[in-house]
Amino acid sequence: MLHIIDARTAVLTPAAPARRGATRVEAHAPGRDATGLRVLLVADLLVRALELDSTPAWALLRGAEDEEGGAPVRADAAALGIRPFEAGGAAGSGPGAGQAVHVVREGRTVPDGATLAVAPVHPAAPDLGDPDALRLALLSRHHHARVELDATELDEARDTLARWRRAVAAWARQPSRPVPGEVRDRLRAAWDDDLDAPGVLRVLRGVEDDPGLPDGARFETYAYADRFLGLHLARDVGALE
């Protein structure tokens, strides 16, 4: 089961109700800066992880920007591959009567519900020139760790994405093989442990370098992990001649 570190108590807490009810994910992103965008990204990861665990989830946007329709924030989020958030309305409202998890920037508090804190990003202005590279660069650091984004970080993310997409496209041409059980367990253990995206990326690097895995299994592993990461790793499938 997915657990998060509740910022109010510093205790590992289930992100889904014990009876498999719904979880309401409330993203508090009042501004368009890089940290606000990271808050939305972490909320997106939370929804993806809940869905992979067969838990119904609703993503709601709250904050000053949302009161004006949230168009700029929503546009930036869409560029980063974040799925749409519903309008949050008044605090405590929204679909579903299940558990609420609030995703907030570090240092912010909310009246009730589990709280997932997201550390700041510098510089404050997000570089959306290559949104997928920015998403990978942010995923490469745990959301509790502060991020210093520079040209080197983004270049490394861009190179990794290009390499993985080429590899995934090549692996897709081989006979499909199931995701090895041990690899699947390691992936799930990573994202179930407080959304450990860097842990998921480490598993993928191990799969990339493991000479004992058939290419069909590599393809299925990357496609499965991308349901959590949202990096469009299979984008170039069919593009190879």
CATH 1.20.120.640 in the chain is located at 153-229
* pTM as predicted: 0.93
CATH number for domain 153-229, candidates 3.40.50.150, 1.20.120.640, 1.10.8.60, 3.40.50.300: 1.20.120.640
Instruction: Centre a 10 Å sphere on the Cβ of residue 89 and count the other Cβ atoms it contains.
Output: 13
The answer to whether 133 touches 154, Cβ cutoff 8 Å, is: yes
The 3-state DSSP class for residue 116 equals strand
Tokens 């499965």 belong to: 224
Could you read off the pLDDT tens digit of each residue along the chain, which spans 241 residues? 899 999 999 999 999 887 767 899 999 987 789 999 999 999 999 999 999 999 999 999 987 554 455 788 889 999 999 999 988 654 444 445 578 999 999 999 887 889 999 999 999 998 899 999 999 999 999 999 999 999 999 999 999 999 999 999 999 999 999 999 999 999 999 999 999 999 999 999 999 999 999 999 999 999 999 999 999 999 999 875 5
Angstrom distance (rounded) from CA 205 to CA 54: 26
Tokens 């179930």 belong to: 192
Angstrom distance (rounded) from CA 108 to CA 63: 12
Closest CA to 103 of 191, 189, 4: 4
Angstrom distance (rounded) from CA 232 to CA 225: 11
**Residues of the chain by 3-state class (helix, strand, coil), percent to 5:** 40, 15, 40
